[in-house]
């Protein structure tokens, strides 16, 4: 197929057409949640609001936010799916579970219509990143309850590509499977290939670039947006590395990807989710325009099972552009700076794990880019304790890393070098960059 977009009619929608679509869908969705979701009926009643008070996106700022903590409380109050479940149990066809830093998990459920919409938006994203029906893609995210496994598998398959449901673990069998099946695309977290490269060399006796992979589709954690990290990965593997899978499991698991023309995330959730930008301190709504930074807040526009209104994602983004990209897509373009709940206050400076990653990426190959910050107490902190993976245990390297972090981020770090593969990952295969011991 030679088409450049999965759904050109939606992906190139004009600002006026998108505004009209969002207005109509939002009005219907608010009426639906008020009628069918006890959770939102209570929230709106407490705020003194009725569905008729929302006539379009301009009225969203008057509605209360929704937080992940509220969703957990809802499911504890009304197990298993919470009183924000708006459909009948009989319509629920897919159940996922996600966990947070507190260890308390959330069940996220979908109806068939919810899944269809999810797959449509996911296909837009993976297609924008270059996935086509000719590809055979191995999917290496956790299939055990996590949405990144089964549902992202369906997103990949919706493009027409052949998908190998490998999951996580058993890297030696994975590299042999890639060779045996002629797999030419891989979907995984951006931290995984650095771990996999050594397995390719040890198990097959070849360089990763000889394995035949043409396309890397990454998401689930930060890293791939760093130009140095991306360039080294492409040099090692010989594939095109794409930031292809940005989303929020509770709202829509994939609604943004880069394209072939610009290494910037494109919003591709038109018709499914409405995005706002807020100042996370003042809660003030910010304009969605180039140069503005803030927390992205999401509202489902056509969700049946567990629709969310003004969901605070805690992701901090910078808007890079709002006009049409050279690829023709009209969704706003953005970069993820980090999570507000991962931001660390060190000596009067705000430090994000992404900043530490950028510093470490300049020191390759002495370090492989894997690290973990370990903090005690809620902060602010005088310094950060950081585990950094490296084959070299030289004290001079430790001192160099500490100096580079101090110069680049204006904060003091206490670095401990550990062997590759030492820094633990979460149960779903994501890198855990900050551990808080309190």
Cα 168 to its chain centre, rounded Å, is: 18
Q: What confidence category does residue 79 fall into, taking pLDDT thresholds of 50, 70 and 90?
A: very high
More confident residue, 406 or 254: 254
Q: Give the span between the Cα atoms of 361 and 229, in whole angstroms.
A: 6
Query: Between 353-361 and 227-237, two packed helices, what is the crossing angle to 10 degrees?
Result: 50
The DSSP secondary-structure symbol of 64 reads: P
More confident residue, 321 or 337: 321
Does the pLDDT value for residue 199 go beyond 50?
yes
Question: In the numeric block, which tokens belong to residue 268?
Answer: 């591709």
Gyration radius of the chain's alpha carbons = 22
Give pLDDT tens digits for 259-274: 999 999 999 999 999 9
Q: What confidence category does residue 249 fall into, taking pLDDT thresholds of 50, 70 and 90?
A: very high
pLDDT for 317 equals 95
Q: Do 246 and 336 touch, CB atoms closer than 8 A?
A: yes
Q: What confidence category does residue 223 fall into, taking pLDDT thresholds of 50, 70 and 90?
A: confident
Mean pLDDT of 58-79: 95
Give pLDDT tens digits for 81-137: 999 999 999 999 999 998 554 457 899 999 999 999 999 999 999 999 999 999 999
Question: In the numeric block, which tokens belong to residue 328?
Answer: 């023709």
pLDDT for 102 equals 45
Does the pLDDT value for residue 216 go beyond 50?
yes
pLDDT for 111 equals 98
pLDDT for 163 equals 98
Q: Give the span between the Cα atoms of 104 and 155, in whole angstroms.
A: 27
pLDDT for 2 equals 77
Cα 405 to its chain centre, rounded Å, is: 25
Does the pLDDT value for residue 62 go beyond 80?
yes
Question: Could you give the domains of the chain?
Answer: 1-266 (3.40.50.12780), 343-437 (3.30.300.30)
Does the pLDDT value for residue 351 go beyond 90?
no
Q: What confidence category does residue 226 fall into, taking pLDDT thresholds of 50, 70 and 90?
A: confident
pTM of the prediction? 0.85
Residue 326 Cα distances to 130, 212, 266, 345, angstroms: 16, 30, 12, 38
Q: What confidence category does residue 241 fall into, taking pLDDT thresholds of 50, 70 and 90?
A: very high
């Amino acid at each position: 197929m030679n088409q450049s977009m999965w759904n050109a009619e939606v992906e190139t929608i004009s600002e006026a057409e998108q505004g009209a679509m969002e207005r109509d869908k939002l009005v219907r969705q608010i009426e639906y949640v008020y009628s069918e979701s006890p959770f939102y009926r209570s929230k709106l009643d407490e705020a003194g609001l009725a569905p008729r008070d929302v006539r379009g996106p301009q009225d969203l700022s008057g509605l209360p936010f929704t937080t992940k903590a509220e969703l957990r409380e809802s499911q504890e109050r009304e197990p298993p799916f919470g009183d924000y479940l708006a459909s009948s149990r009989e319509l629920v066809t897919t159940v996922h579970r996600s966990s947070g830093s507190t260890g308390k998990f959330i069940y996220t459920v979908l109806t068939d219509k919810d899944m269809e919409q999810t797959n449509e938006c996911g296909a837009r994203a993976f297609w924008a990143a270059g996935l086509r029906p000719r590809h055979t893609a191995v999917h290496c995210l956790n299939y055990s309850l996590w949405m990144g496994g089964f549902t992202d598998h369906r997103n990949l398959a919706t493009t027409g590509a052949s998908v190998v449901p490998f999951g996580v673990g058993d890297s030696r069998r994975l590299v042999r499977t890639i060779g045996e099946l002629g797999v030419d695309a891989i979907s995984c977290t951006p931290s995984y290939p650095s771990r996999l490269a050594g397995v390719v060399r040890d198990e097959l006796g070849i360089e990763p670039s000889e394995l035949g992979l043409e396309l890397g589709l990454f998401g689930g954690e930060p890293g791939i947006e760093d130009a140095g990290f991306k360039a080294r990965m492409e040099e090692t593997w010989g594939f095109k590395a794409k930031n292809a899978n940005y989303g929020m499991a509770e709202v829509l698991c994939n609604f943004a990807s880069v394209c072939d023309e610009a290494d910037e995330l494109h919003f591709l959730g038109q018709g499914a989710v409405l995005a706002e930008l807020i100042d996370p301190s003042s809660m003030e709504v910010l304009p969605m325009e180039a140069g503005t930074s803030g927390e992205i807040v999401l509202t489902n526009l056509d969700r049946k099972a567990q629709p969310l209104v003004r969901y605070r994602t805690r992701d901090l983004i910078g808007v890079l552009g709002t006009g049409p990209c050279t690829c023709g897509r009209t969704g706003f373009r953005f970069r993820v700076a980090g999570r507000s709940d991962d931001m660390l206050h060190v000596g009067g400076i705000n430090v994000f794990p992404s900043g530490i990653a950028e510093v470490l990426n300049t020191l390759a190959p002495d370090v492989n880019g894997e690290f973990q910050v370990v903090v005690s107490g809620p902060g602010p902190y005088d310094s950060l304790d950081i585990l950094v993976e490296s084959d070299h245990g030289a004290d001079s390297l430790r001192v160099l890393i500490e100096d580079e972090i101090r110069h680049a981020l204006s904060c003091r770090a206490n670095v401990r070098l550990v062997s590759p593969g030492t820094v633990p990952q979460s149960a779903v295969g994501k890198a855990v960059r900050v551990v808080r011991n309190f």
